[in-house]
Structure 1
């Protein structure tokens, strides 16, 4: 049942992000990069993937799409010329902020239907912090 609920939630998120031409994974990586940038961090691909909980190779492919769309840019890290720092563009920052609001609204509506979901979310958050 949890799997079916998760699929339903993912469909709701995908539907909400469709008008912005973003997939759920693109949204997660853009929003995470924006959050890190706005908190003084310029992540590289590995640190972004770790923060977002995504696969590193898949992250690379998704970042390339976000870069092609003009939502972020990769800049050579002056401390390590092999690494690229990720910086969200102004257009990417506006999109991240807007879509975070949209996804939050979907989440509120989805999880309001089941008050016990708040307990499940706390359990999942605790599980993640234990990893």
Structure 2
């Protein structure tokens, strides 16, 4: 472990790793005209489209973990850039469906390649993308992501 993180809490380490990843992805996809948040949106949309889905903004928000209002803002910017199209859902006129344009699909494929290379670099200390350590790391991250968090629950000492 790096000397700079001796005694750090797991929460701090998760935050630092997420910030390191966000900054690295931001820099890596910037030449493609994307931000990290936009990349998260188009890469998720790309995966959903490949499985035959044309998701609503709400469904994509649920998939990415981003707030629906933020997804709407990102989608409008990506639409203006010609990377995706927003259309009304014929089954629910209140819902907006999203789809990548041809140009959006090409930019997304390039971004996915760039981020995949970055991910390989990040996971190199664990033995690489397919190593047993990385697979265990993924299981542990998934367990943490599946754990419910309720910010309204207070520590007993705070309630006293």
Task: Specify if TM > 0.5.
Answer: yes
CA distance, structure 2, for counterparts of residue 81 and residue 94 of structure 1: 29
CA distance, structure 1, for counterparts of residue 136 and residue 71 of structure 2: 30
Match of residue 74 from structure 2: 62
The question of whether the paired residues in 1 share the 8 Å contact of 2:75 and 2:86 is answered with no
Q: Shift of residue 118 of structure 1?
A: 4.8
- Aligned positions, number: 131
Deviates more, 1:2-11 or 1:34-43: 2-11
Q: Which protein has greater RCO, CA pairs closer than 8 Å, 6+ apart?
A: 1
Q: What secondary structure is seen at the aligned counterpart in 1 of 2:18?
A: helix
CA distance, structure 1, for counterparts of residue 96 and residue 22 of structure 2: 30
Q: Shift of residue 18 of structure 1?
A: 1.2
TM-score (norm 1): 0.89
**1:47 and 2:59 equivalent?**
yes
Match of residue 124 from structure 1: 141
Q: Which has the larger radius of gyration?
A: 2
The question of whether the paired residues in 1 share the 8 Å contact of 2:84 and 2:104 is answered with yes
Instruction: Give the gaps of 5 or more residues in structure 2.
Output: 6-12, 128-132, 149-160
CA distance, structure 2, for counterparts of residue 77 and residue 5 of structure 1: 38
Match of residue 8 from structure 2: none
| Root mean square deviation, CA, Å | 1.8
CA distance, structure 2, for counterparts of residue 58 and residue 94 of structure 1: 23
Match of residue 97 from structure 1: 109
The question of whether the paired residues in 2 share the 8 Å contact of 1:111 and 1:118 is answered with no
TM-score (norm 2): 0.74
CA distance, structure 2, for counterparts of residue 97 and residue 130 of structure 1: 32
Of 28, 36, 41, 1:16 maps to 28
Match of residue 35 from structure 1: 47
